[in-house]
Structure 1
Amino acid sequence: MDDITESTVLRTEIQVDGAPTSYLTVEQDGLAVLLLHGTYWSRVWLPVMGSLGEAGLRPIAVDLPGLGRSGGELTLESGTVPALADWVARFASALKISGPVAVAGHDIGGGVAQHLLVHDRLEVSRLALVNSVTYDSWPVSSVARFRDPEIVAATTADEILYARRQAVTRALAGAATEQRITDYLDPWTDERVRRSWMAMVGAADNRYTREVVPALRRNTTPKLLIWGEDDDFQKVEYAERFASEIPHTTLVRIPDAGHIPTENAPGPVAHALVDFFTV
């Protein structure tokens, strides 16, 4: 990843619940911006973190338990969206983040971010969702099949890696170079990470995003949607619906971008985030 990692972005770790938790950050004063991933890992935020840091923000892209470079291991109980929201609040506490914090979530991380907001687990000043799960948009078919215990038991490591390669290649769209695909897949070479990922997708349930809709409609916190228009996992129609139904929401569409627009269009995505978080 050295070819695209700006020198100001560092990887470090802290203990949460007795396990090492890895995160990328720009170590400086400024508004803390928690960047949450979903079925991938903190790598999705790397292309925009330097720009957030240059704007005076303190971006923090954490690897959820058992995923990416973090220790620990998810279970079907700890891998649910509400449980992950509780864990993120404990992570923020471990970092001694006090006062308002901005939150951005991608994929299932966006579902976690919505729970953080409406259940007051953190003092969320602004919420950004990037090609996030919403309403009943998830789990998508490529991961929903892993909710079947029989399929999970019969799936080999090679089959998981192949499925992840296929999904990552689709998600990266035009940004899918062999090196980038390899970077994204690297954590899944660890059996513990594969088990954690299977637990997260096994716990995937759209009731967690459906049940927060009434509270989101009442919520006055500013919200930003950034959406790769060509995403065939989380379709832009869901973003359009969210923007039309949830007050205080702005939608920024990213043309010619897929499920991970931070890779397809890091400049426009970073610009939209910086403008939103530095108002």
Structure 2
Amino acid sequence: MSATVSFEVPTPSGPRPMTVSYTRAGDGESLLLLHGIGHHRQAWDPVIPVLAKERDVIAVDLPGFGESPALPDGLAHDLPTMTAVLTALCAALGLQRPHVAGNSLGGLLALELGRAGAVRSVTALSPAGFWSEAERRYAFGVLSAMRGIARRTPPSVVERLAPSAAGRTLLTSTIYARPARRPAAAVVAETRALAQAPGFTETLRSGRSVRWTEDVPGLPVTVAWGSRDRLLVPRQGVRAKTVIPRARLVRLPGCGHVPMNDDPALVARVLLDGSRQEPAGAGRPDA
């Protein structure tokens, strides 16, 4: 069930109040799940039942997405601010260095939490930030077009399209390799979430200068990429392995940019394996 948590975030101008929506399920070591830009926490629904058998799973709506309100006025949707928000969120929920997994924007944020030493392990699914400038412009153009279409399409049209496999393909084939597998209700909800997200424009704008160039030493890192990712192309995974040489690089055959829907069993296994690794440098060979 959905819940909210309120907390304060330290800023240069003093503490600012924040509220974040989330769901929590399962028992075991804590695993924080972070979605991509324009999406919401329900992106993780296909894998949560498996993860919850072994983990205390917390899926959050990032500020300005899903049911979480945007950041307070004056706070930027950039990496330093979001790292502070997520660190404060973990403290408010009683999470002491949880494992973290993220997709796209969420993968970038997961890596940033790892670099800050705030988590025990990082699993990043098609993380943002390993692009060339041309690839970034392409991805941002596609995302802007998706947002524009979602905002211009009347909800009644989305509801008529979603029940058919062809309609779900039309609406979501950019992010899913197997869009027909996505439930109609989920497609309607995520199209609405993309159209209504108050944090979308500011988050996309802040990403123009982002490029990940630093290692994440001292903790297990898994980077996984769908072989059919049409938004952030798979060769970016090779760059990620070059930048983070001790990372475990995993190929997700037949999966698109949001692989949790395309192959839930495989993605759940990758996430669980990622949170079982030994710390980087402990002698475990790369996979």
Q: By how many angstroms is 1:75 displaced? A: 6.4
- Counterpart residue identity of residue 125, structure 1: R
Q: How does 1:1-279 map to 2 (within 5 A)?
A: 10-17=1-8, 18-28=17-27, 30-39=28-37, 40-55=39-54, 57-73=55-71, 77-98=75-96, 100-120=97-117, 122=118, 124-137=119-132, 139-141=136-138, 143-144=140-141, 158-159=151-152, 168-176=172-180, 177=182, 178-188=184-194, 190=196, 193=197, 195-205=198-208, 207-210=209-212, 213-216=213-216, 219-279=217-277
Paired with 2:150 and 2:174, the residues of 1 have a C-alpha distance of: 20
- Counterpart residue identity of residue 185, structure 1: T
Instruction: Provide structure 1 residue ranges, at least 5 long, that are not aligned to the other structure.
Output: 1-9
1:266 to 1:74, Cα distance in 2 relative to 1, 3 A: farther
Paired with 1:32 and 1:59, the residues of 2 have a C-alpha distance of: 6
Q: By how many angstroms is 1:161 displaced? A: 7.9
1:205-247 CA distance string (max 9 Å, x none): 3x4333xx2343xx13111122211001111111122224423
Paired with 2:150 and 2:36, the residues of 1 have a C-alpha distance of: 20
Q: By how many angstroms is 1:12 displaced? A: 1.6
The list of structure 1 runs, each at least 4 consecutive aligned residues, that deviate by more than 6 angstroms after superposition, is 164-167
Kindly indicate which of the two structures has a greater share of residues assigned to helix: 1
- Counterpart residue identity of residue 25, structure 2: V
Q: By how many angstroms is 1:167 displaced? A: 7.3
- Counterpart residue identity of residue 22, structure 1: S
Aligned residues: 250
Q: By how many angstroms is 1:87 displaced? A: 0.8
- Counterpart residue identity of residue 13, structure 1: T
Q: By how many angstroms is 1:115 displaced? A: 1.4
1:161 to 1:132, Cα distance in 2 relative to 1, 3 A: farther
**SS at structure 2 position matched to 1:226:** strand
Of all paired residues, the percent bearing the same amino acid is: 22
Paired with 1:105 and 1:128, the residues of 2 have a C-alpha distance of: 7
TM-score (norm 2): 0.76
Q: By how many angstroms is 1:158 displaced? A: 3.3
Q: By how many angstroms is 1:186 displaced? A: 2.7
Which residue pairs with 2:162 in the alignment?
A: none
1:137-181 CA distance string (max 9 Å, x none): 56453535889xxxx9xx79833889x997743102312454432
Paired with 1:141 and 1:167, the residues of 2 have a C-alpha distance of: 19
Paired with 1:45 and 1:115, the residues of 2 have a C-alpha distance of: 20
**SS at structure 2 position matched to 1:235:** coil
1:66 to 1:161, Cα distance in 2 relative to 1, 3 A: farther
State whether residues 30 and 99 of structure 2, in contact with CA within 8 Å, keep that contact through their aligned partners in structure 1: yes
- Counterpart residue identity of residue 223, structure 1: V
State whether residues 215 and 243 of structure 2, in contact with CA within 8 Å, keep that contact through their aligned partners in structure 1: no
TM-score (norm 1): 0.78
State whether residues 133 and 234 of structure 1, in contact with CA within 8 Å, keep that contact through their aligned partners in structure 2: yes
